[in-house]
Amino acid sequence: MSKLIPGRRNLLKAGAASLFLAGVPIAGLAKGKPPGSISVIILEGGMDGLATIPPVGDPDLMRMRKAISPEGYLPLNDFFGLHPSLKFYAQLMARGHASAVHATAFPYTKRSHFEGQNMIEGGGLSPFSEKTGWLGRALDLADVAGRSLSLDMPLILRGHHENDNFYPASIRGSSRPKADLVNMIAMGHKMEAAQIFTKVARKSEENVRVPRDPASLATYAGRAMAQADGPVASVIRVNNFDTHANQVEEGDADAGRLARQLVVVDDVIAGYRRGLGKAWDDAIILTLTEFGRTVAVNGTWGTDHGYGSVGLLAGGTLSASGVIADWPGLSKKDQFEKRDLMATIDYRSVCAACLEKALGIDHDLIASQVFLQPDLPRVFDHLFA
Amino acid sequence: MNKQFTIAQKIGLMFRYDEDIPQDMEGWIEHQLQAPSPALGIAKTGASVTEWPDELQPNLAKRAGMWRRYRALKKQQREGKNGQDTEAARQANRHENLMQEKDEHKFVQRNAYGADQVKLRLTSFWANHFTIGNTFDTGQLIGHAIDEGILAKLNGSFADMLYGITTHPGMLTYLDNVWSAGERSEKAKNCRRKPDCQAGLNDNLGRELLELHTVSVSAGYSEDDIRAAAQVLAGWGIDFGEELSTMRKRTGSNNHWNAYKKQWAEPGPKKVMGQTIYAGRSGLRQLTDFLASHDHTINHISIKLCQHFVSDSPTKAQIESIKSVWHQSNGDLHAIHTQVLKLAINAPDAKFLWPMTWLFQVVRLSGATYFKGWENTHNYNNKLMHTKKVFEELGQSFWSLRQPDGYSNDKAEWLSAEMFERRVRFAEAIYVNGGTRRSANKIMDRIGAAEQTRALVASVGPSPKDQFITLMCSPELMGLEYV
C-alpha cells in the first residue's frame, strides 16, 4: 500500500463518522461494492453430519447407527435424506436454493473442540497459528465491513478492524450511552481500547433495537445486509451440538438434542431469507462446525467427537440443489481411524468458493492470502455452476 | 493509585468504601490467604452485612432431594396433575427446589461484601479453570462445586483439588461421565444382550481432563490415551436424579461425591501417557496424582495463573518462577498462590480485569447496594435486576451454559464494542439504581487516582453521574493503559 493513502485505522482515529459506514471505498483502493453477501452460521460442539443428512443408501448406516438415525427423513435422492427438523431448508432445496456438502471437514483430525474451533475460524494451517480469522482476512482483501451478532468478537471476523459486533443490551437503569461522553472516555484510552470506545459512541448514535433470539438476529442481519451501504458479512453462533448424550430421545430417533438444535439452524436460515428480501439473490449462507461425530453410537444415546461432517449451504446465488460428496463409505475400513466418517472434500475449498462468489475475489488470492494454502483446490463450479 | 489499591485491584476486589486500609500489605496478603472465609451478604436492602443463613446453603444430599422433588412436580405439571400446571405452581417449584439462582446470588453477594477478597479472586480463577457449564441439570451443583471443591481447597495441594473436582457430581454430570460405562464392564456386557439397551464409553471428561484441566495438548498424548483416561473414569458418578436407594445399590454409598459404580467400571489395568493405572476405584486417584505433577500440567497452569493475575503479556521469567515454586512445594497451592501474588504486586504493568471482577470492584468502591438481599432473590424489584440477569447482560457468569475451556485470560478476547458498551451501561445503572455512597471525587481521593484519571473525569463536565461513569471506565479502573 502506498504511504500516501491513509489507512482506515487513521481515518477512524480522525473521528469522521461518515467514513465508518460499511463499504466506503478509499481512493486508489476502491473495488466498489462486492457482488454479494456472505453469512456464516457457526455450529459449536461438532455437528453430526450423518444424522443431519443421513446417507440412507449406504447399507452400513442402519447397521452402524440404527438407534440414532432419523426415521422421518425426507429423501433427497437415492442415497441421501434430510433430517425432519430442517423443514424450511427442505423447501429451499426444492427451489434450487440450498445445497449440502457431505463427508467434508477442515484439515483437522485431533477432535478437540478448542483446537477445532480455532481452526475453522482462524482458517490457518494449524490450530492457534493465526490471530485473525478467514472471514476477517477476506473482508480486508475486499475492503468491506462485517458484523457479528453475539457478545464476543469471534476469531473468524478478526483481522479487519471495521468489523463490529452486536447484541443489544437490556439493563435496567441504563440508557443508550451518550455519544459525547463515550467519545470523551475514548480520548483517555490508548490505541485499541480508544477505538473500541469510539465504536461504542458511533453505535449509540445509530440507535437500533432488535430482539435477541437467533432467528430474529438473522432477520436483522439480513435486513442490514440488504441495504445499499449495509454490511457484506455476518456471523451467527449456535451452540450445543456436542451430542455425547441424548442426541436422540430413547425410542424416538426424530426427537432429542440434535433435532432441537437443527430446528434453530432451520429458523436462522429462514430468518436470513426473510430479512434479506431481494438481496437473497446475491446471498450465500453456509454452516461451519469443528468436526463431525463417530459413526458408531456410544453408550449414552449419543456420539463422540469425530472428523468428517456436513456443510449446509443456502442462498439465491446457488443455481441448483444437491448433495455434493465423494462418498467414502461407512464400513470400518472406510472410516477415518476406524471410527469417524472420512472427509473427502476440504471444507476450506467450500468456504473459498463462497468468498469468491460473494466478494468477487480470485480463488488464487483467497487460497494464498486467506487460507495461506496456495494449492487449495477450487470447487466453485460444483457449487455455483 | 496508591499501593494498597493497586494491589487490591490486581489480586483482590478492592477495599469496600468503608473498609479499613491495611498498611502492611504483605502481612495482609498472608492473612487473606489463611483467614476463614464465611459467605457474607445482606438479607435485604439496607440490612447490615452478615453471614448467609445455613438453610440457603444445603449439602449435596439435600440438593439431590430438591432436584428429585423438582422433577416429580415437573412431571405432574406436564401431566396436568395436582394443580401443578399453573404458572404459580411452576414458579414455586423452581424457586423452592432449584439452587442455581440462589447459588449465583450467594456468589455475587459474597464478592460484593466479602472480607476475603483475595481468596474470592483465586476461587474465580480455579472455578474457571475447572469450568462446569450450566446444562440445567448441573445448575443444582455448580455453586456447591465452587464452594466445596474450590474455595474450601485453596490451601491444600493441587492434586487434592484436581481429584476433588474431577469426582464432584457437577463435573461428572457436566461432562457426561455419569452415563459412561467401560466397554468391557458388566453393565455393557449385560446390555448387549438386551434390545434398545445402551451402555458404553463416553470420552468427554477423559478428554477434557487431559486437554483442559491438566497437561494440555502440548503434551502430545494420543487418542488412545484419552480413551484410556475415559476407561479409568468409567463408573464414577451417578445421575443426580436417581433415588437414594438406587445410588446405595449401585455404589454402596450415600455420598454423591464418592459414587463409584463397580458394574460400570472397566476391568483391568489401563495405560495413560505411559503410566499404568490399576483397575478399581483407586485408579482415578492414581491417574489424577500422575497428571497433577506432570511437567506439562505445571507449565500449562503456571502460564494461565500468570496471565490472569500478573500481566497481560507475562514474561518467561515470571512463568518460570511459578513453575519453580510449584516443583519445590510439590504442588502446594498456598505456596504457588503466594508466589503468584508476589509477582503480581511487583509487576509494574496494568492488568486487564474480567467484566465480573470490574463490576464487583465498582460496587465495592462506591458502596452501592446493587444486588438484592437473599430474602428477595426471586422478587421483582423496580430498580435491581435479578442477579442472574445482571451477569447475563454483562456477558460473564459461572452459571451460564458455556464451553468447558471457560473464560479467556487473554485480554484480546474481551476487547469489543459490545463488551465495552456494557461497562458504560453498568456504571450508569449502578450509579442510578444502586444508591452509591461515594462520588467519583471521593473515590479518587481514597484510591489516590492518577493525574490522568483526574483530568479525564474533569473533562466530562460537572454531572456527578457522567463523572462516575467516566471514572469506572477509565483506563486506571479497567486495568488498561493510558494514552
B-chain CB neighbours of A261 within 8 Å are none
CATH of the domain at A144: 3.40.720
Q: Which chain A residue lies closest to B453 (C-alpha atoms)?
A: A188
Q: Are residues A228 and A353 in the same domain?
A: yes
> b/e per residue, B79-95, with b = 16+ CB within 10 A?
eeeeebeeeeeeeebee
Condensed to tens digits (0 to 9), the pLDDT of residues B248-268 reads 999 999 999 999 999 999 999
Chain B contact probe: residue of A148, A174, A183, A250 with most B CBs at under 10 A: A174
SS3 A289: strand
Check whether B40 has a pLDDT greater than 60.
yes
Q: What pLDDT was estimated at residue A148?
A: 60
> Closest partner residue to B456 among A110, A188, A199, by Cβ?
A188
Which are the contacts of B455, defined by CB distance < 8 A and separation ≥ 6? none
Which are the contacts of A178, defined by CB distance < 8 A and separation ≥ 6? A204, B466
Q: What pLDDT was estimated at residue B193?
A: 84
The set of cell numbers assigned to B226 is 484419552
Per the domain annotation, does A12 fall within a domain? no
Min Cα distance A85 → chain B (Å) is 22
Q: Enumerate residues 362 to 381 of chain B having a beta carbon within 8 A of any beta carbon in chain A.
A: none
- E strand map for B179-337: 270-272, 275-277
DSSP A76-117: -SSS-EE-TT-HHHHHHHHTT-EEEEEEEE-S--S--HHHHH
| Domain ranges across chain B | 1-54+104-156+349-483, 61-96, 166-292
Decide: residue A10, CB within 10 A, 0-12 exposed, 13-18 middle, 19+ buried: exposed
> Closest partner residue to B469 among A111, A181, A245, by Cβ?
A181
DSSP B59-120: -HHHHHHHHHHHHHHHHHHHHT-TTTTSHHHHHHHHHHH--HHHHHHHHHHHHHH-S-HHHH
- If you search the block for the grid coordinates 438406587, which residue do you land on? B246
Min Cα distance B117 → chain A (Å) is 26
For B400-454, what is the HEC assignment?
A: CCCCCCCCCCCHHHHCCHHHHHHHHHHHHHHHHHCCCCCCHHHHHHHHCCCHHHH
Per the domain annotation, does A16 fall within a domain? no
Query: B471 at the A interface (CB within 8 A)?
Result: no
B-chain CB neighbours of A178 within 8 Å are 466
Half-sphere exposure of B286 (CA within 13 A, CB side): 17
Q: Are residues A288 and A301 in the same domain?
A: yes
Q: Are residues A152 and A294 in the same domain?
A: yes
Of residues B298, B163, B164, B283, the one with CA closest to residue B230: B283
DSSP A26-50: PTTT---S-S-EEEEEEETT---HH
Q: From A178, A207, A236, give the residue that closes a domain.
A: A207
Contact B425 A300 (CB under 8 A): no
Rg over alpha carbons for chain A, rounded to the nearest Å, is: 21
- If you search the block for the grid coordinates 503466594, which residue do you land on? B338
Q: What is the mean pLDDT of residues B15-31?
A: 95
Q: What angle do CA A75, A81, A87 make, to 5 degrees?
A: 80
Q: Are residues A203 and A216 in the same domain?
A: no
Q: Are residues A143 and A187 in the same domain?
A: no
Q: What is the mean pLDDT of residues B455-471?
A: 97
Q: What pLDDT was estimated at residue A170?
A: 80
Q: From A207, A230, A265, give the residue that closes a domain.
A: A207
Per the domain annotation, does A110 fall within a domain? yes
From first to last of its 385 residues, chain A has per-residue pLDDT tens of 222 222 222 222 222 111 112 222 222 333 467 889 999 999 999 999 999 999 999 999 999 898 899 999 999 988 999 999 999 999 999 999 999 999 999 999 988 888 898 899 999 988 777 778 899 889 888 877 655 665 666 778 776 655 566 666 788 888 889 999 999 999 999 988 999 999 899 888 876 666 667 888 888 888 888 887 778 888 888 888 999 888 998 778 899 999 999 999 999 999 999 999 999 999 999 999 999 999 999 888 899 999 999 999 999 999 889 899 999 999 999 999 999 999 999 999 999 999 999 999 999 999 999 999 999 999 999 999 7
Q: What pLDDT was estimated at residue A167?
A: 66
For A191-232, what is the HEC assignment?
A: HHHHHHHHHHHHHHHHCCCCCCCHHHHHHHHHHHHHCCCCCC
Phi, psi of A151 (to 5 degrees): -75, -30
> b/e per residue, A250-275, with b = 16+ CB within 10 A?
eeebbbbbbbebbbbbbbbbbbbbeb
B-chain CB neighbours of A174 within 8 Å are 424-426, 428-429, 432
Domain ranges, residue A57: 31-167+210-384
Query: B190 at the A interface (CB within 8 A)?
Result: no
Long-range pairs for B411-416 at CB < 8 Å and ≥24 separation? B411/B312, B411/B352, B412/A131, B413/A152, B414/A152, B414/B352, B414/B354, B414/B355, B415/A153, B415/A192, B415/A193, B415/A196, B416/A151, B416/A152, B416/A153, B416/A165, B416/A196
Helix, strand counts (H, E) of chain A: 13, 11
Phi, psi of A140 (to 5 degrees): -65, -45
Decide: residue A104, CB within 10 A, 0-12 exposed, 13-18 middle, 19+ buried: buried
Q: Are residues A102 and A182 in the same domain?
A: no
Of residues B249, B281, B287, B241, the one with CA closest to residue B265: B281
The count of domains in chain A is 2
Helix pair B355-366, B417-433: axis angle to 10 deg: 20
Of residues A328, A319, A260, A238, the one with CA closest to residue A39: A238
Q: What pLDDT was estimated at residue A146?
A: 59
Q: What pLDDT was estimated at residue A23?
A: 24
H helices within A277-346, ranges in order? Answer: none
Q: What pLDDT was estimated at residue B6?
A: 96
Q: What pLDDT was estimated at residue A210?
A: 65
A-chain CB neighbours of B420 within 8 Å are 193, 196-197, 199-200
Condensed to tens digits (0 to 9), the pLDDT of residues B324-347 reads 999 999 999 999 999 999 999 999
A-chain CB neighbours of B233 within 8 Å are none
Q: What pLDDT was estimated at residue A165?
A: 62
Q: Are residues A48 and A196 in the same domain?
A: no
Q: Which helix (H) or strand (E) holds A233?
A: strand A233-238
Residue A333's identity, in one-letter code, is: K
- pLDDT-derived band at B198 (thresholds 50, 70, 90) equals confident
Query: B199 at the A interface (CB within 8 A)?
Result: yes
Check whether B54 has a pLDDT greater than 80.
yes
How many interchain CB pairs under 8 A, A with B?
Answer: 180
Of residues B325, B312, B380, B324, the one with CA closest to residue B351: B312
- If you search the block for the grid coordinates 444486588, which residue do you land on? B371
Per the domain annotation, does A2 fall within a domain? no
CB contact at 8 A, A117 and A290: yes
Give the bridge partners for A286, in sequence order: A40, A313
Of residues A147, A155, A153, the one with CA closest to residue A117: A155
Strand bridging mode A309-314 / A81-82: unpaired
H helices within B130-261, ranges in order? Answer: 142-144, 158-166, 169-174, 186-192, 204-208, 223-233, 244-251
Contact A300 B466 (CB under 8 A): no
Q: Enumerate residues 412 to 441 of chain B having a beta carbon within 8 A of any beta carbon in chain A.
A: 412-422, 424-426, 428-430, 432-434
Min Cα distance B26 → chain A (Å) is 31
Contact A171 B385 (CB under 8 A): yes
% residues pLDDT > 90 (chain B) = 87
B-chain CB neighbours of A114 within 8 Å are 211-212, 403, 405
Q: Are residues A62 and A147 in the same domain?
A: yes
Interface pTM (ipTM) of the complex?
Answer: 0.92
Condensed to tens digits (0 to 9), the pLDDT of residues A284-306 reads 999 999 999 999 998 888 999 99
Check whether B217 has a pLDDT greater than 50.
yes
Q: Which helix (H) or strand (E) holds A141?
A: helix A134-142
Which are the contacts of B351, defined by CB distance < 8 A and separation ≥ 6? B9, B10, B309, B310, B311, B312, B344, B479
Q: Which helix (H) or strand (E) holds A165?
A: strand A164-165
Q: Are residues A112 and A153 in the same domain?
A: yes
Q: Are residues A103 and A126 in the same domain?
A: yes
Q: Are residues A178 and A225 in the same domain?
A: no
Q: Are residues A159 and A175 in the same domain?
A: no
- Going from the C-alpha of B114 to that of each of A209, B107, B364, the distances in angstroms are 38, 10, 10
- Going from the C-alpha of B55 to that of each of A272, B254, B304, B375, the distances in angstroms are 49, 21, 36, 12
Contact A299 B459 (CB under 8 A): no
